[in-house]
A and B are shown apart, each in its own frame.
Chain A
């Protein structure tokens, strides 16, 4: 039983990180209809910036958090303005290819700006181990689970009650009608890129805290993408939950079926789910009237 609980807790912790990055995918898809293949790289860049702040400015958790959020907002806005906005109206395939190109550039930037060595993000907390009975958990792992749950609630409230959230939903539903109603689609797109960058960046910072920073961190995007597909590409909250499911599934498969099964379990799960619900567990069925 203790073995199972340990697997579940570790699965929830890594799943929460996948969930945050998956929400980043979903926010952009929901607002722009685009799959951002540079999501993992954006996550990594924010984590590296957080590490730079911690080693050069201050290791205070609030300074690092504020700096990282600000940097993530700027990163999202810059990418939207310089790279994505010029692609408005272009075929989706071309736009997706641009995000793939962006991913390669951001990945290479790590070596040019920083280096290839792994680094530890030290902000004076998150690395300690707490024992729940005989089960050991890092405080950063507990914090990321709590953060995901808080963000899920906050984003639900944002989309439901805030004017900006309703505007984003309107643009997602029908951008032309939204435009006629006085909503600026470009502003909504910019906001979506900034929000996506921040949410995924939080996941990246928690990953760096619980594990380490390395140029291989971009691969988190590849792990989080199945979570988005599982939860529903257009379902922000569903993607977060999808991350938790993938994390738990991976860990249970690794713990009971063997190490080799760990990496394929999540993908096997989405194949099964998509056969039954092609739009994901929480995604909306796309109905076209002829």
Chain B
């Protein structure tokens, strides 16, 4: 009898351990709602990406809720502002996980912030889909519960520089980058193509984050005789650079990276921005997919939010769609373990704003297809080139 009892106890204990904490109701889920958390920069200059990404999450959530929610449960979005300050990102993520007790996470802020918060995410085990700033560290090595939608900065730069190099053989090159992790990534990608294609780099500048006047930098670029220019600024920096080049009466073939590929930038650059090239993995708003997305978004967000839509809204939307679909596939009683398992099974999920998204066993990065676009100052839009 005692032997039977001991065996039963052992079996029960083993079963509990096997199911793990997920079997006990995971946080953030009630009979009527599921909580999804996010931490973004909603104030300060990077709010441009944080606010836009959060609007993308809201659109996907509103769309799902309008269709009845996730298996009858409405989704509630818990959003925190980190002001792009890493300490506040960590604080914010801890708050949404421990205090708000969300079921899953989206976002999260910039690349440095996502990297810093990784130990918290890993330790908690919460299903997370990162969409704002894809950098290799986030998926190499793969973490069980963290998935990344997008393309790496390095690949983006390599794709852009390769395109410009093939289109402009034998030309002199100029590059300017920011003095931070973003700038290092841009420079590393650029250098790899320079080495492979033996590009002739005649100007290489490095500016301090926050610099607003680029008169001496662009004058140096002009003096160097550069004919192809990779503007490694983000938003205001690229605008300032292009306007300086206009003042100096030169117009090199210019490439910019996707963080600065937002339509209002073209308005501020004016004629100086016409014809600049950009690389991205989300659809341009001028294309059919972009227009369809805007049509879909219009009734789901406020007028102010609609005005705040940019490319980050598309990345946020795609990530939220993937997460919602994974939770949905878990049926009536979704758990963290099931959601993570379903995220891993994500295969060719269509979002309409980028190429189909897939993950896989041990693959936590969606590796989106890149495309080159060119600015059209007349219509203030980017149009696909290849």
Contact = CB atoms under 8 A, between A and B. Distances in A.
Decide if A and B are genuine partners.
Answer: yes
A93 interface: no
A78 interface: no
Interface string A115-155: 11111100000000100000011100000000000000000
A107 B44 CA distance: 7
Interface string A47-80: 0000000000000000000000000000000000
Given A115-B308, A212-B236, A263 B265 contact: no
A190 interface: no
Contact of A118 (B51, B210, B215, B265): B265
A3 interface: yes
Interface residues of B, number: 40
A216 interface: yes
B106 interface: no
B268 A120 contact: yes
Contacts of B207: 259-260, 262-263
B120 interface: no
Contacts of A108: 43-44
Interface string A208-247: 0001101111011000000000000000000000000000
Contacts of B262: 117
A254 B176 CA distance: 13
B268 A259 contact: no
Interface string B29-41: 0000000000000
B219 A10 contact: yes
B205 A258 contact: yes
A254 B208 contact: no
Given A107-B44, A116-B48, A255-B216, A262 B208 contact: yes
Contacts of B268: 118-120, 212
Contacts of B206: 258-260
Nearest to B250: A136
Given A7-B219, A115-B308, A118-B235, A215 B44 contact: yes
Q: Report the contact-size class of chain A (Cβ under 8 Å from the partner).
A: 35 or more
A6 interface: yes
Interface in B16-46: 42-46
Contacts of A264: 208
Contacts of B239: 118, 212
A95 interface: no
Contacts of B267: 120
A43 interface: no
Contacts of B246: 129
B97 to A, nearest CB: 25
B235 A251 contact: no
B47 interface: yes
A137 B308 CA distance: 33
A188 interface: no
B264 A117 contact: yes
B208 A215 contact: no
Given A115-B308, A116-B44, A260-B208, A136 B247 contact: yes
A118 B44 contact: no
Contacts of A117: 48, 262, 264
Contact of A259 (B205, B236, B264): B205
A219 B215 CA distance: 17
Interface string B238-262: 0110010011110000000000001
A165 B386 CA distance: 66
Contacts of A215: 44-45, 47
B211 A262 contact: yes
B216 A216 contact: no
B216 A118 contact: no
B166 interface: no
Contacts of A220: 212
Given A259-B206, A263-B208, A7 B215 contact: yes
B274 to A, nearest CB: 16
A156 B294 CA distance: 56
**Residue from B212, B243, B249, B268 with most neighbouring chain A CB atoms (10 Å):** B212
A116 B219 contact: no
A103 B3 CA distance: 72
A10 B216 contact: yes
23 contacts: A10-B219, A11-B215, A14-B213, A14-B215, A108-B44, A115-B47, A116-B48, A214-B45, A214-B235, A214-B236, A215-B47, A216-B210, A251-B213, A252-B216, A254-B217, A254-B220, A255-B220, A259-B205, A260-B207, A260-B208, A263-B207, A263-B211, A264-B208
Interface pairs A-B: 7 shortest CB-CB = A254-B216, A10-B215, A116-B47, A259-B205, A263-B208, A255-B216, A116-B48
Given A14-B213, A215-B45, 19 more contacts: A6-B248, A10-B215, A13-B215, A107-B44, A111-B42, A115-B307, A115-B308, A118-B236, A118-B264, A119-B264, A129-B246, A136-B249, A214-B235, A219-B212, A220-B212, A255-B220, A258-B206, A259-B176, A262-B208
